[in-house]
Chains A and B, each alone.
Chain A
Amino acid sequence: MATRYEMEMIDSAARAHQAFEEELHGEKLIVNMGPSHPSTHGVFRMVLELDGEEITNCWPEIGFLHRGDEKIAENMTYTQFIPYTDRLDYLAPLANNVAYAYAVEKLCGIDVPVRCKYIRVICAELARISSHLLGIGAMSMDIGAMTVFLYTFKQRELIYDLCETICGARLTTSYTRIGGLANDMPESFIPMCRKFIADLPATIDETDKLLTRNKIFIERNKDIAVLSREDAINYGATGPILRGSGVEHDLRKANPYGGYENFQFDIPTGTVGDCMDRYLVRMEEMRQSIRIIQQALDSMPGGEWNAPEAKIVLPEKQAVLTKMEELIHHFINVTQGINAPVGEVYFGAENPKGELGFYIVSKGGGTPHRLKIRAPSFVNLQLVPLLCKGHMMSDTVAILGSLDFVMGECDR
């Protein structure tokens, strides 16, 4: 009689199935990411705790670009600090200049002429477009769409051309002054700018075609890192991240400053609060910025571009060379700085990344007693552990890309 044996050979698939049923979890793996990592857009470090591919915990670390801006500000005059504001959010230096100038003007209690305000609006909106172009380009490059980055960077080069026309520098513009601008907008700027905003929608549409309905892009962004409305407010998020979560808050509309009340534009908001919504909000914001620039160019008033405050604004060079009073004002303004009144002021401006606030405490004299920079990236980056938990390791690049932070202003 033949004996019948039953043999069981467990193959790897069966073993895996068994492990899955028993909820067998291995040891957790700690992975370091950054501070020198291409998708952290600078020097941001994350330590991730992984269970397989899934992120179970995340500890962000910042400070790798802490240069001591706030301490430096206490040691120099208000005007001398303007170049440092360029280097806060170095993707949108013009917007930082504008925000800082309004903050110091609020402290001094002066108002700038309408022409100055309109030029500043154009500057801030160009900076917004420039920042969002890079944000979207870098995000899509991290996800794997290299083409978009090259397309958007081509448009950024045209914005650099506009910056060069207006102030002579590509990136570090330092265009605003306390109570005005470094110089009036040159004549050639307006046709250049008109041509730019006429051509830009084509690039935005092209990006739209490449990304918005792209299967891979949707798969990697839809329902990834959903941020609820309550969490967004609780964590103090601002800018496209807050609006992506459905809060219709934009300081340009809520607390209008610098002539924004004269322009027609809409605030795009998201419904879900995932990476895709934040991306879509940025796309729409660029279109709205084009609208604002168009209106500002159409209704650009003439006249003075500096406030008539001899003790604050630098006089014209020609007048300094020929007139006594202007010479004295120039000398005192340059050597001692403006004599700011005693007081304290907080001014928040809607920057591309969110609310950029300057809290200035003045004890009189030419230098601030304390200058605190409320950097949007600093606050927005706090969301990283909340958003990353429960997602795959490969989603981190999409999450970081959708947060669109800049370490320069985060670490200051």
Chain B
Amino acid sequence: MGAKKEIMNAPSQDVIVTRVDAAISWMRKNSVWPMPMGLACCGIELMAVGASRFDIARFGSEVMRFSPRQSDLMIVAGTCVYKMAGVVKRVWDQMPNPKWCMAMGACASTGGMYRSYATVQGVDRFLPVDVYISGCPPRPEAVLEGLMAIQRKIANEQALHAMKTGIASAPTHQPVTGPVIVRGDYATRR
């Protein structure tokens, strides 16, 4: 009882009353550490997202972790071929829950322009993709928007429930049904 009274008396700007779920989700969504699975050309644009002009640090995701054990979001950037598919899958399996996956660019989403004997026709054949970004490669702004889509998705998750049951991405009030598609086409600036 005493503790409650203390909270009530505290100055209002120091205390925020919220659900634990929302607090956890808020913390999670602003500290998404990406695992940059830079496979091909999109990897270069991913580097551009990390560099000074586009600066992914504004979204709390500047910590590119090449170790899957320390990362939350796998960005599959580039063409995934069958020889590499097992490696991508294994890296994904090594990431701890909760984890999200972003298919960056046409090749990772659908195989893109490489319809051939060697290319996986979309990484969603073996990974649960949350956000697809179109474009070949997508503009860095589109990658940032994809990251924001992931953040919206995280904000809507029932974090506590997921922790107890082990089922990730159980939606709360605003259910996000299915994956999000972000348009990353070229808009010329000429």
Contacts and interface: CB of A to CB of B under 8 A. Distances in A.
Pairing of A with B: yes
Interface of A: 35-38, 42-43, 63-68, 71-72, 83-84, 86-87, 90-91, 134, 149-150, 153-154, 156-157, 160, 164-165, 168-172, 186, 407-408
B84 A154 contact: no
A71 B117 contact: yes
A363 B52 CA distance: 50
Contacts of A38: 66
A186 B189 CA distance: 13
A407 B190 CA distance: 32
A171 B44 contact: yes
Nearest to A34: B87
B188 A168 contact: yes
Interface residues of B, number: 36
Given A65-B79, A68-B116, A172-B136, A90 B40 contact: yes
B173 interface: no
A67 B37 contact: no
A84 B114 CA distance: 9
A164 B189 contact: yes
Given A67-B119, A408-B41, A153 B190 contact: no
B81 A64 contact: yes
B48 A87 contact: no
A374 to B, nearest CB: 19
B47 A90 contact: no
A276 to B, nearest CB: 25
B45 A171 contact: yes
B190 A35 contact: no
Contacts of A150: 51-52
Contact of B91 (A36, A66, A71, A168): A36
Contact of A65 (B37, B48, B84): B84
Interface centre among A35, A171, A186 (most CB of B within 10 A): A171
B113 interface: yes
Which 9 interchain pairs have the tightest Cβ spacing?
Answer: A68-B116, A90-B41, A153-B51, A168-B188, A64-B84, A68-B118, A67-B114, A38-B66, A157-B53
B48 A153 contact: yes
Given A64-B84, A65-B81, A172-B137, 20 more contacts: A35-B84, A35-B87, A42-B40, A43-B84, A64-B83, A66-B83, A66-B118, A67-B79, A67-B116, A68-B118, A84-B113, A87-B40, A87-B41, A90-B41, A150-B51, A153-B51, A157-B53, A169-B188, A171-B41, A408-B41
Interface of B: 37-41, 43-45, 47-48, 51-53, 66, 78-79, 81, 83-84, 87-88, 91, 113-119, 136-137, 139, 186, 188-190
A42 B39 contact: yes
Contacts, number: 96
Contact of A153 (B47, B66, B88, B186): B47
Contact of B45 (A42, A63, A67, A170): A170
Given A165-B190, A170-B139, A154 B41 contact: no
Contacts of B40: 42, 65, 87, 90, 407-408
11 contacts: A36-B37, A42-B40, A42-B43, A43-B39, A64-B39, A67-B116, A67-B119, A87-B40, A153-B51, A168-B186, A170-B186
Contact of B81 (A67, A134, A154, A156): A67
A66 B81 contact: yes
A172 B115 CA distance: 18
A156 to B, nearest CB: 8
B171 to A, nearest CB: 31
A87 B107 CA distance: 12
Residue of A71, A86, A153 contacting most chain B CB atoms (<10 Å)? A153
B135 to A, nearest CB: 9
A154 B52 CA distance: 7
A401 to B, nearest CB: 15
A390 B147 CA distance: 44
Nearest to B68: A36
B116 A72 contact: yes
Nearest to A72: B116
Contacts of B116: 67-68, 71-72
B117 A68 contact: yes
Nearest to A63: B83
